[in-house]
Structure 1
């Protein structure tokens, strides 16, 4: 999937900024839904799935890789974000 990200430098009005955020939020929601579906597959492949099968080392690796792409957020904030994403994905997998 290729998404054209709006350039913050090109935004000059509040309406443009809100439209850009709305587009980014829509793309983010689509990515989160897809991530949850793939994570559900992972849960089925693990010997112990669900919340008991969480791997702190793997989660640390995910956050470190993301921090390289989003340095302004930093690993501490990204760890909190990814914890919420992972927990939501696990809860969604349990409901399936």
Structure 2
């Protein structure tokens, strides 16, 4: 039977192993298809739960739910590149 620290202990045991990943390769055209993105966004808002964000720290494992579900972990490095035009408003 799973205990509250089951996930945390599993992460500790297997932290040096390569994790599974999904290989997704999208061409430029699908990434620029704004109408398709809006349809997907509308579908997600209608049918999906709200997503939650959490900072990846050592204690995160104990905060994850025990229920099965779709969990996505995204690594975003802390580096920030200096841009000549740092305003995204011209792209929206």
Indicate whether the TM-score tops 0.5.
no
> With CA pairs under 8 Å and 6+ residues apart, which has the higher RCO, 1 or 2?
2
- Output the TM-score relative to the length of structure 2: 0.28
- Output the TM-score relative to the length of structure 1: 0.27
Higher share in helix = 1
Larger Rg computed on CA atoms: 2
